[in-house]
Amino acid sequence: MKILKLTCLTIFTALLFTSCSTVPGTGRVQFTPIPSGQMLSMSISQYGEVIGKAKISKDKKTTAMVRRVGLRIARAVEDLLKEEDIEMKFEWEFNLIDDLKQANAWCMPGGKIAVYTGILPYTKDETGLAVVMGHEVAHALARHGNERMSRGLGVAFVGMGLGLFLNEKDPATRNIFMGAFGAAAQYGVILPFGRSQESEADRLGLQLMARAGYDPNAAIPFWQRMAQAGGNKPPEFLSTHPSNETRIEDIKTHLPEALIHYFPLQRP
């Protein structure tokens, strides 16, 4: 048992010191042990499966708007990475999926982006769409997918160690401890971590849309519209997303930082 514990500690320490990086635009130090090439390969495969089954919109005007906003934000990402001398690989692709029931958009690691037509009534215009796409691209830029997978593996690793430690205990005692660990991991680690990622994506997304020439002030009315459209939501501490009220207040706090980078849209 002592040898196993020592081996686990050695592996964890090695990963900790070889897998740290800095989030562009926020400066937060993060732990991302999963190789970026592996994340990119998985995202390309998953993206292909989703797009292969999806109904791609034939609305040329709206599709052109999605790609125009996406390309401008992509240029903003490249500019930011160059400024901070950070090397990241993106293979940008933008698709508009015809699904009015889904008010959603997402960006996979590596820059594969999908926007659903159901989000467009809330974005209203090109600047509103930049709020959404800036936020989703920020998740990829900040390597949030890598962090989520790494955090899940870490929790599983600790759970496995706890299980070995409790292996000789009676079943009732083992179940109590493992149940307590599961609850603590969910509400003390996983959910708060998800909320912090969402808040960071809001902050970084404001910077990206501003750098792309879109007024970041548009984020407030967009999230107000989303709040009005939402139904019953779980309490914030039970959710991976911050409450709408918290999100809007945080955005107000980060607007001055984003506005430094904002110049009215002039690029083609």
- The secondary structure element, H or E, covering residue 81 is helix 60-83
Q: Residue 55, SS3?
A: coil
Annotated catalytic residue within 78, 83, 93, 136: 136
- Active-site annotation holds for 136: yes
State how far the alpha carbon of 127 is from the alpha carbons of 106, 209, 228, in Å: 17, 8, 19
Beta-sheet pairing, 29-31 with 20-22: antiparallel
- How many Cα atoms within 13 Å fall on the side-chain side of residue 103? 13
165-199 in b/e burial notation, b at 16+ Cβ within 10 A? Answer: ebeeeeeeebeeeeeebeeebeeeeebebbbebbb
129 neighbors 69 (Cβ within 8 angstroms): yes
Amino acid at 101: K
Helix axes 219-229, 191-211, angle to 10 degrees: 140
Beta-sheet pairing, 112-116 with 20-22: unpaired
> What is residue 186's DSSP assignment?
I
Q: Residue 51, SS3?
A: helix
Find all residues with CB under 8 Å of 192, minimum gap 6, and list them: none
Residues recognised as catalytic: 136
